[in-house]
A and B are shown apart, each in its own frame.
Chain A
């Protein structure tokens, strides 16, 4: 059906349209900017509630929730340092996401390399413990995160017994064929006299070689982290 020309529209209707559009734009421009206030992370819903609202798509919901949780360090107009977040809530969120999508590794990466990298030792230990607890649910696939926190425990927390405990857990529980030989001998690696940068390089190199890391985004993220560590080591 062909439409009639614009000239057939009454001038009053055109005027109303223009006026409405202009007023909307002016109204929007006059609105105050979002205040840079750190919004508290809300408590995680129960697993039952999440299962219902996933409508049979738990994996898609888990991936979306992970992005939502991750966005809490980067709200409009403000980057909230991780240590300002309520870590008890963060831990529950990460646990729920893992329960919705148990083969997913994203919550463990976030726990070890984002939330576990704060300068606050209590929070760091909380995240390490979270990874340690969750490691036992699927040791053959979750060992890289425990290996990482073993290294961090040694170099950042200076807690060698804790690092050895994590390394021992890998040796005793991650016994599958897919786990590389060097990972099963993490205890030796922990006891070696390497600094943090060298340890991180060995660990990441080993993970790359065994094909545990293939995602381009994760590779870039790790490269950035290594560069930061190198810069930090040079300035010391």
Chain B
């Protein structure tokens, strides 16, 4: 099955590379440099910090948006063209197809992460740029896997993309929401407790993406390899969870 996974991954990656996605990635990089450079020029002090903070945030959100959009649109097209039925009519287990697709999208995610990571080298030490890039790869892998799960569940671009964006933004802000919920003074009512309980459950199911790809590493050079380990562990755990969910969905699908 490894060979089949490799073949599917290869063609998934080729599709992306032939799809002018790379031009879009380069365009995002140029826009980021231009925009952050302009804003950095306005700053009276900490101009380099302003530039790198805004560039990093822009690149991070853009790369997530690009990967999620590509995964969703590519998979929806394949579903509409009956490509999935065609591939699964071959002697290939459904798991092989899914893991091949995941591997292809994971390989694709490395491309913008590496390019954007190289850009940050102009502003920050190598180690910090490397930490940021590796963390971005992990973040993009989670987003790609979640996008794949959403497409298999919803079969529609609009719904899948909306779900991915909601998941991403919630994963980035759940820590702040929890803090606010627990920090509300004097509000120990039943409704408040119920809301906090629901938030706790949501938080337990979401990856802590606010810890990933920290801009602080690039601005204040505070990143360490030790800080990366929990992020890699979280990536591995969440990829296993999402793959399991996607497999569950795919095997139950009546084609």
Indicate if the CB atoms of B45 and A60 lie closer than 8 Å.
no
> Quick check: which of B4-12, B103-111, B212-220 contacts chain A, the rest being far away?
B212-220
**How many CB-defined contacts (below 8 Å) exist between A and B?**
87
Mark interface residues in A99-113 (1 if CB within 8 Å of B CB, else 0).
000011110011001
Indicate if the CB atoms of B176 and A52 lie closer than 8 Å.
yes
Max chain B CB contacts within 10 Å: which of A51, A55, A114, A215? A55
Chain A residues with Cβ below 8 Å from B220 are: 103
Q: Which of B41, B44, B173 contacts A56 (CB 8 A)?
A: B173
Q: Does A59 contact B (CB under 8 A)?
A: yes
User: In whole Å, how far is A227's beta carbon from the nearest beta carbon of chain B?
Assistant: 16
* Interface size of B in residues (CB-CB distance below 8 Å): 33
Q: Does A125 contact B (CB under 8 A)?
A: no
Chain A residues with Cβ below 8 Å from B57 are: 57, 60
Chain A residues with Cβ below 8 Å from B46 are: 63, 104-106, 215, 218
Max chain A CB contacts within 10 Å: which of B47, B57, B177? B57
Mark interface residues in B195-216 (1 if CB within 8 Å of A CB, else 0).
0000000000000011110011
Indicate if the CB atoms of B219 and A55 lie closer than 8 Å.
no
In whole angstroms, what is the CA distance A93 to B209 when docked? 27
Chain A residues with Cβ below 8 Å from B180 are: 48, 51-52
Chain B residues with Cβ below 8 Å from A106 are: 43-46, 50
User: In whole Å, how far is A97's beta carbon from the nearest beta carbon of chain B?
Assistant: 12
Instruction: State the main secondary structure of chain A at its contact with B.
Output: helix
Instruction: State the main secondary structure of chain B at its contact with A.
Output: helix
Indicate if the CB atoms of A218 and B45 lie closer than 8 Å.
yes
B residues at A contact (CB < 8 Å): 39, 41-50, 53-54, 56-57, 60, 169, 172-173, 175-177, 179-180, 183, 209-212, 215-216, 219-220
Known interface pairs A60-B53, A60-B56, A218-B44. Does A67 touch B172 (Cβ–Cβ under 8 Å)?
no
Indicate if the CB atoms of B45 and A57 lie closer than 8 Å.
no
Max chain A CB contacts within 10 Å: which of B39, B173, B176? B176
In chain B, what residue has the closest Cβ to A114?
A: B44
In whole angstroms, what is the CA distance A218 to B43 when docked? 9
Q: Which of B44, B172, B210 contacts A70 (CB 8 A)?
A: B44
Chain B residues with Cβ below 8 Å from A110 are: 44
Beyond A55-B169, A218-B46, 10 additional pairs, beta carbon < 8 A: A48-B179, A48-B183, A52-B173, A55-B210, A57-B60, A60-B54, A60-B57, A106-B45, A114-B44, A216-B47
Indicate if the CB atoms of B173 and A104 lie closer than 8 Å.
no
In whole angstroms, what is the CA distance A63 to B53 when docked? 7
Indicate if the CB atoms of B172 and A56 lie closer than 8 Å.
yes
Which 6 A-B pairs have CB atoms at the shortest separation, nearest pair first?
A56-B210, A60-B57, A56-B172, A51-B176, A218-B45, A55-B172
Chain B residues with Cβ below 8 Å from A182 are: none
Max chain B CB contacts within 10 Å: which of A56, A66, A113? A56
User: In whole Å, how far is B169's beta carbon from the nearest beta carbon of chain A?
Assistant: 6
